[in-house]
Amino acid sequence: MAVHAHPDDESSKGAATMAKYVAEGVDVLVVTCTGGERGSVLNPKLDRPDVWANIAEIRRAEMDAARAILGIEQAWLGFVDSGLPEGDPLPPLPEGCFALQDVDVAAGPLVRLMREFRPHVVTTYDEEGGYPHPDHIMCHKVSVAAFDAAGDAERYPELGAPWQPLKLYYDIGFSKGKILALHEAVLATGAESPYAEWLTRWEDRPDKGPRITTRVPCAEYFPVRDDALRAHATQVDPDGFWFQVPMELQQRAWPTEDFELVRSSVDSPMPESDLFAGVRGTAHAR
């Protein structure tokens, strides 16, 4: 089970890993906390009044397309997008939005899904949300709360028989090592690197590389990841930043997606190369 804040997050964070496990016969469920109703249209080719007027319906259709490409199952938690506040000072979040929910209340629907789907492994964002969008931070809080509660028969007894997932991971989408490896690989071809400005700003942000415990080799599924991301046509420019580095170069320079193991009730040697390390052959039946 991979828990994400908005439609498109599942395709930009851990998508190749999911596609790899689907190909191996693993059941994968993406849980999408909000509908992305307050998201921007980031593809200039679709920045039109008719798209903005129907953004909620369009983003659901985009999610359906990405789901089919990845071969996953997908469920909506049903919360309303909080939007990304901008300005100084920041404006208040909209009433009723996901980020303003009580964590224990908002965790309930996810507890129900965990008890119904019965995952052995759960992935989500770290305490900073991967980046500080209020919905991403709330997604982290709700995911951890649900993971800790799903196996406790005394908590949420009305939401089904208890089920305890065995491992919880945080997605580490970008580390300094990864960006530097891609940057240097691009420069070696004589091309201009799209990561140069990013690296100049790195001193202002923490490097999560030392937190990585698990590197999943999944380079052959990078094209599937990109196809799923392009399915979210309002959210990515097909001629933009995410697609500037040649696929073969990406696969060679950094052939893994990376995670931090933060909860585990099984033994697995570190570092790992498999989210199911310690689980295979020992997991309780679903």
CB 225 within 8 A of CB 19: yes
Question: In this predicted structure, what is the pLDDT of residue 165?
Answer: 98
pLDDT score of 70: 98
Q: Where are any strands of DSSP class E within the chain?
A: 2-4, 29-34, 73-79, 121-124, 167-172, 214-217, 256-264
User: What are the distances in angstroms from CA 165 to CA 120, 121, 128, 241?
Assistant: 5, 6, 22, 36
Q: What is the pLDDT of residue 204?
A: 73
Model pLDDT, residue 225: 98
Q: What is the pLDDT of residue 15?
A: 98
CA distance 153 to 163: 9
Rounded Cα distance, 138 and 129, in Å? 8
The full set of domains in the chain, from first to last, is 2-174+208-264 (3.40.50.10320)
- Yes or no: say if 34 and 239 are a contact pair by the CB < 8 Å rule: no
Tell the residue number behind the tokens 């997008």, with chain if given.
81
Q: What is the pLDDT of residue 215?
A: 98
Question: What is the per-residue pLDDT for 48?
Answer: 95
What pLDDT, on a 0 to 100 scale, did the predictor assign at position 285? Answer: 60
Q: Residues of the chain whose pLDDT is less than 50?
A: none
| pLDDT score, position 267 | 95
